[in-house]
């Protein structure tokens, strides 16, 4: 094979997924502990055990890396198959599955730390807050919206505005309790309490959209 052909083959190979994950894991930890401004690409590369060039080969800049880290976290806690709805599935059971995963994610120590950090930086780092929302909550809202649209097409629900209904569902799940957790007024719920909260939230949602 010629040198030109070898170079073309190398360019066509997928990037090392293990290194990419190491970069994302390092970025998530550093963004949480040091904040966005104080986290450098050099620091991420060092923590991940890769070169700075390797980081840039996967992520074009620090903003892209931050967004990817948030998306990776969401995909790990709420993988796309969790939103699947097949013909014989119960919509309520699928929503309970989503609700459990969602509350487990937002109640996690990492999520609470990140949200508190973003609130503290909101005035100076509005772009950072938008990056977070687009990569995390907005992605989840879109997935729930698509689920509700499919449920309506299948005749399982009657939802005129799936985007609005998705926000309704997320709002019912969070309520005011999540705000109290963020500002330190109460602790996160135990797993059994969380399950009961999700069950009641889904029952309320279903009564409105069945």
Residue 193, Ramachandran bin (φ over 0: left; ψ between -120 and 50: alpha; else beta): alpha
Look up residue 150 and give its DSSP letter.
H
What's the token pair of residue 54? Answer: 């390797």
- In this prediction, residues 132-137 reach a mean pLDDT of 92
Under the banding of pLDDT at 50, 70 and 90, the label for residue 11 is very low
What's the token pair of residue 72? Answer: 């990776």
89: Cβ–Cβ under 8 A, 6 or more apart, which residues?
none
Whole-number pLDDT of residue 148: 98
Select the more confidently predicted residue: 14 or 47: 47
Given this structure, which CATH class describes domain 1-66? mainly alpha
Domain residue spans of the chain = 1-66, 78-210
pTM value is: 0.83
Q: How far apart are CA 210 and CA 201, in angstroms?
A: 14
SS3 for 124?
coil
- In this prediction, residues 84-95 reach a mean pLDDT of 96
Q: Of 9-23, 38-52, 101-115, 179-193, which gets the smallest average pLDDT?
A: 9-23
Select the more confidently predicted residue: 141 or 11: 141
Per-residue model confidence as pLDDT tens digits over 34-89: 888 889 999 999 999 999 999 999 999 999 999 999 998 888 889 989 999 999 99
Under the banding of pLDDT at 50, 70 and 90, the label for residue 15 is low
Task: Write down the CATH number for the domain with range 78-210.
Answer: 1.10.357.10
Whole-number pLDDT of residue 196: 97
Whole-number pLDDT of residue 10: 44
Per-residue model confidence as pLDDT tens digits over 167-206: 999 999 999 999 999 999 999 999 999 999 999 999 999 9
Whole-number pLDDT of residue 33: 83
- Asked if 204 and 172 count as a contact pair (C-beta separation under 8 A), the reply is yes
118: Cβ–Cβ under 8 A, 6 or more apart, which residues?
125, 128, 129, 132
First to last CA, the chain: 63
Whole-number pLDDT of residue 118: 86
């Amino acid at each position: 094979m010629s040198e030109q052909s070898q170079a073309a083959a190398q360019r066509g190979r997928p990037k090392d997924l293990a290194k990419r994950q190491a970069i994302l894991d390092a970025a998530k930890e550093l963004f949480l502990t040091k904040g966005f401004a104080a986290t450098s690409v050099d620091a991420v590369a060092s923590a991940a055990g890769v070169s700075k060039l390797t980081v840039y080969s996967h992520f074009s800049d620090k903003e892209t890396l931050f967004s990817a880290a948030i998306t990776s976290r969401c995909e790990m806690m709420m993988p796309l198959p969790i939103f699947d709805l097949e013909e014989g599935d119960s919509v309520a059971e699928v929503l309970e599955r989503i609700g459990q995963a969602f509350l487990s994610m937002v109640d996690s120590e990492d999520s609470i730390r990140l949200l508190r950090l973003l609130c503290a930086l909101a005035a100076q780092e509005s772009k950072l807050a938008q990056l977070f929302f687009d990569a995390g909550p907005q992605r989840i809202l879109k997935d729930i919206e698509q689920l509700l649209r499919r449920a309506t097409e299948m005749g399982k629900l009657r939802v005129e505005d799936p985007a609005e209904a998705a926000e309704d569902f997320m709002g019912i799940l969070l309520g005011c309790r999540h705000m109290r957790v963020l500002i330190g007024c109460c602790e996160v719920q135990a797993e059994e309490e969380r399950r009961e909260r999700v069950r009641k939230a889904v029952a309320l949602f279903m009564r409105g959209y069945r």
